[in-house]
Amino acid sequence: DAMVIQNPRYQVTQFGKPVTLSCSQTLNHNVMYWYQQKSSQAPKLLFHYYDKDFNNEADTPDNFQSRRPNTSFCFLDIRSPGLGDAAMYLCATSRVRDRTLAKNIQYFGAGTRLSVL
Amino acid sequence: GESVGLHLPTLSVQEGDNSIINCAYSNSASDYFIWYKQESGKGPQFIIDIRSNMDKRQGQRVTVLLNKTVKHLSLQIAATQPGDSAVYFCAEFLTGGGNKLTFGTGTQLKVEL
């Protein structure tokens, strides 16, 4: 059974048209991440939520926003998608009980592949 | 077969042979490492992890070796099967570094029948 669920699996949007990708988890993990992955590249972290605390990566464009209304759900909003935003978007979760604990297994969803026309 | 990670992104092995996938990590202070397997069109899947106070850890058909002196990590897959075909990523973690994994460049493993 899928524990990190991303919807939809495939999303097509038009240039400049806002789009929202969703992620839900049944693991009750306190940390949720959003990554962007382009073809043949490693996942690139956009931001993460540690509980309700939002942590943005320094190089994440303002065009990308996120919301986490509760523990189970997290959304990725792309305000004005450009052609360069076409990619696989991955959601991941982890349980971090102690910020100093040296262990961080992240569990990934299947991803949403975004196409921008 | 054996890869050199960043410099050889594709590794081809015969079914039944052992595979060795290499990774050079960036931060000498990193204290935890993970190997992920990513099949085409899917999200990364956890394979095995290792803390920096260990130099070897074994799982089912997989072994991870850590050499902190040269900042090198390897994943050994025994008796490679067609289902092992995927891209493999190593990832490093630094305690207190912001709950983030830093992914290395992936290696494509192709298993030939």
Average pLDDT over residues A16-34: 96
Region A9-30: mean pLDDT is 96
Question: Quick one: pLDDT at residue A99?
Answer: 59
Q: Would the pLDDT of A75 be above 90?
A: yes
Q: In the predicted model, what is the mean pLDDT of residues A31-50?
A: 93
Q: Find the domain containing B62 and state its range.
A: 5-112
pLDDT tens per residue across span B62-91: 999 999 999 999 999 999 999 999 999 999
Structural domain count, chain B: 1
Contact of B54 with chain A, judged by CB distance below 8 Å, is answered with no
Res B3: pLDDT: 42
Domain tally, chain A: 1
Which of A43, A48, A107 minimises the CB distance to B99?
A48
More confident residue, A32 or A99: A32
CB contact under 8 A, B32 and A104: yes
A87 lies within 8 A of chain B by CB:
no
What integer pLDDT is reported at residue A39 of this predicted model? 86
Q: Is residue B96 packed enough to be buried (19+ CB in 10 Å), middle (13-18) or exposed (0-12)? A: exposed
User: The domain spanning residue A74 has which CATH number?
Assistant: 2.60.40.10
CATH of the domain at B33: 2.60.40.10
Residue B29 at interface with chain A, using a CB cutoff of 8 Å: no
Residues of chain B with confidence (pLDDT) below 50: 3-8
Tell me the pLDDT band of A93, cut-offs 50, 70 and 90: very high
Q: CA-nearest residue of chain A to B103?
A: A42
Q: In chain B, which residues have their Cβ closer than 8 Å to the Cβ of A90? A: 43-44
Q: Which domain holds residue A71?
A: 4-116
